[in-house]
């Protein structure tokens, strides 16, 4: 059953909510399904409340556990977003903690202010009037059994949040808490995966001092190229991790070939070429959220089919890989090898110009040239 169905199935409350609440919850549910990280999730939740529900303002704040009883605002959106600029809200027993946010966090239950004449809303009544806010709801969000913070929604009408709508929003905020917990768990898993990746890279660099730093440098350049191409943070993380171990298959290549100070013979070149296949085989044993193994297996493929090990062409080569290919060639040409000194920037630029749209992706080359021209990466 999908998340949408899980939330909506069989709950009579959903048949009675208003159209703005319906639209807001449906849009927010999509955010729960699609979010890649906590920041995106909370921003999308607030955007949905404002854009789909027609509310003036929505914001999410986390209750600080450092003894200050303050809040960290993590997401805010809406035409009345200026309302939160410089706002002082706490969750202690002071007057600043007596409003809907403070009470919601302390009590662990939703709190509604039906109109701004409510005496508990006094510290913020002037702000509310300035921004046309007439009613508010603050709903606590639980993560791992504890109140993490609150989602607050503001309306330009009095009594906007009746008992049915409040029950719906409370149920939905339970799902938001589950979403935050899932994403936080994903961060821990990704950190563990990244640690594994870096250990593998270190193992290779211990065998081949000439590649020490090469993979990390390729990761840096590939990340900069991906940023120029406006890729998502999720994609950029995958590209960097793949780049950090793109040569891991050299673990299966005799060390004497890796450090040989003279040109390799044809049979030795063929043996070295095996490192792409070996790398893919090694990494295929790990269930990454990105196609790390396939990227590594493709990092010597070329658009015109002249690469190895499979002679892939064009779109058969993933964009992730096409970025790493360009970063790899640029960094490798600029780095001193056992059999030659590093080549200069003019040689690198000439290679990119010659291969642009032929063996290297044109958009990736253009993005790389921007990075180099702006001095963001040095050979």
The phi-psi region of residue 122 (left if phi > 0; otherwise alpha if psi is between -120 and 50; otherwise beta) is alpha
Q: Count CB-CB contacts under 10 A for residue 337.
A: 16
| Angle between helical axes of 319-334 and 233-244 (0-180°, round to 10) | 50
Q: Which residues pair with 375 in a beta bridge?
A: none
Residue 138 phi/psi, 5° resolution?
-125, 125
Residue 162, both tokens: 């009746």
Distance of CA 323 to the CA centre of its chain: 18
Identify whether 252 is preceded by a cis peptide bond (ω within 30 of 0).
Answer: no
Query: What is the distance between the alpha carbons of residues 229 and 232, in angstroms, rounded to a whole number?
Result: 9
Of residues 146, 226, 174, 187, the one with CA closest to residue 37: 187
Whether 130 sits among the annotated catalytic residues: the reply is no
Query: What is the distance between the alpha carbons of residues 75 and 40, in angstroms, rounded to a whole number?
Result: 9
Of residues 190, 195, 289, 293, the one with CA closest to residue 248: 293
Q: Which residues contact 79 (CB under 8 A, 6 or more apart)?
A: 50, 56, 57
Active-site residue among 250, 260, 310, 354?
A: 250
CB-based contacts of 8-14 (< 8 A; 24+ apart in sequence): 11/171, 13/164, 13/167, 13/168, 13/171, 14/168
**Are 292 and 286 spatial neighbours (Cβ–Cβ below 8 Å)?**
yes
Place of tokens 């056992």: 338
Place of tokens 């955007």: 47
Query: What is the distance between the alpha carbons of residues 92 and 274, in angstroms, rounded to a whole number?
Result: 63
Catalytic residues: 250
């Amino acid at each position: 059953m999908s998340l949408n169905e899980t939330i909506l199935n069989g709950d009579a409350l959903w048949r009675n909510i208003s159209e703005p609440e319906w639209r807001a919850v449906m849009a927010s549910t999509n955010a729960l399904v699609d979010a890649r990280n906590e920041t995106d999730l909370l921003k999308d939740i607030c955007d949905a409340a404002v854009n789909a529900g027609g509310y003036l303002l929505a914001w999410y704040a986390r209750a600080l556990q450092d003894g200050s009883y303050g809040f960290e605002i993590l997401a805010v959106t809406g035409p009345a977003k200026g309302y939160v600029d410089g706002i002082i809200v706490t969750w202690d027993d002071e007057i600043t903690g007596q409003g809907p946010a403070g009470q919601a966090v302390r009590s662990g239950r939703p709190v509604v202010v039906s109109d701004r004449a409510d005496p508990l809303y006094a510290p913020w009544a002037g702000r509310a009037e300035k921004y046309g806010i007439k009613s508010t709801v603050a709903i606590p969000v639980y993560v791992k059994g504890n109140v993490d913070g609150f989602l607050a929604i503001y309306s330009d009408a009095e009594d906007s949040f009746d008992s049915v709508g409040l029950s719906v929003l409370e149920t939905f905020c339970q799902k938001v808490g589950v979403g935050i917990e899932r994403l936080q768990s994903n961060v821990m898993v990704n950190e563990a995966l990244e640690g594994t990746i870096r250990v593998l890279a270190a193992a290779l660099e211990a065998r081949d001092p000439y590649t020490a730093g090469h993979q990390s440098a390729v990761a840096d350049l590939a990340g900069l190229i991906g940023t120029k191409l406006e890729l998502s943070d999720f994609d950029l993380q995958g590209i960097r991790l793949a780049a950090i171990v793109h040569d891991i298959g050299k673990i299966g290549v005799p060390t004497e070939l890796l450090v040989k100070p003279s040109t390799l013979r044809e049979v030795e070149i063929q043996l070295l070429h095996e490192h792409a296949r070996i790398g893919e085989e090694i990494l295929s044993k790990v269930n990454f959220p990105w196609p790390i193994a396939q990227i590594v297996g493709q990092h010597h493929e070329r658009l015109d089919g002249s690469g190895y090990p499979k002679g892939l062409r064009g779109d058969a080569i993933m964009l992730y890989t096409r970025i790493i290919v360009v970063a790899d060639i640029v960094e490798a040409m600029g780095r001193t090898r056992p059999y030659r000194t590093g080549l200069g920037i003019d040689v690198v630029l000439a290679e990119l110009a010659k291969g642009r749209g032929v063996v290297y992706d044109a958009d990736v080359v253009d993005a790389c040239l921007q990075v180099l021209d702006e001095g963001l990466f040095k050979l």
